[in-house]
Amino acid sequence: MAIGYNDKAEESEFEDKVIHINRCAKVVKGGRRFSFAAIVVVGNKKGQVGVGLGKATEVPEAIKKAGKRARKALVSVPLHGTTIPHEVMGTFGASSVLMKPAPEGSGVIASSAVRAILEAAGVKNILTKSLRRDNPHNVVRATFDALKALRSLSDIAKSRGKAVSDLHS
């Protein structure tokens, strides 16, 4: 009994959000067979976020699979207060996403897919623009490409072998 309780407590730290559900039909002799693909984002609103794709013959099962895959693919996002440390551009396939830090009170200015990921990561103020194609699969991957490219000031100082105070001058 205690094992099930621990699983629930561990899962409650992360919040799930369904980004997109796609229905696909296969035509067979008896009619159409439907299958579903779901994209789910999981985040703890403290800088950790993951995304997963799940496919199944039923929607709840596809969402469950996607959530499981998202928890396995968590990425740590460096935050600078309530925004990102610097401007960044992410691309995947034909989609590109531009992200810029925004001042306090700006809010999350983004498309639905990008907004879900950034809110799950804990970003509260950001300006974004989805460029080129708007396929949700590619936009999500482009957003993650941009988030992976983010570097904090301490990371940059460490790679240069300097102190953070030396970079400010």
pLDDT at 128: 95
Quote the CA–CA distance of 64 and 98 in Å, as a whole number: 30
pLDDT tens, 14-72? 899 999 999 999 999 999 999 999 999 999 999 999 999 999 999 999 999 999 999 99
> Is the backbone of residue 120 left (phi > 0), alpha (psi -120 to 50) or beta?
alpha
In CATH, what is the architecture of 78-158?
2-Layer Sandwich (3.30)
Pair 98, 111: CB distance under 8 Å: no
According to the model, what pLDDT value does residue 89 have? 96
Q: Note the pTM of the prediction, 2 decimals.
A: 0.86
- Asked whether the predicted pLDDT for residue 9 surpasses 80, the reply is no
Tell the residue number behind the tokens 């296969």, with chain if given.
26
pLDDT, average across residues 128-151: 93
pLDDT in tens, 44-54: 999 999 999 99
Listed by start position, the domains of the chain span 2-75, 78-158
Supply the pLDDT for residue 12. 64
CATH number of 2-75: 3.30.160.20
Residue 24 corresponds to which tokens in the numbers above? 């696909």
Confidence label for 156 from pLDDT (cuts 50, 70 and 90): confident
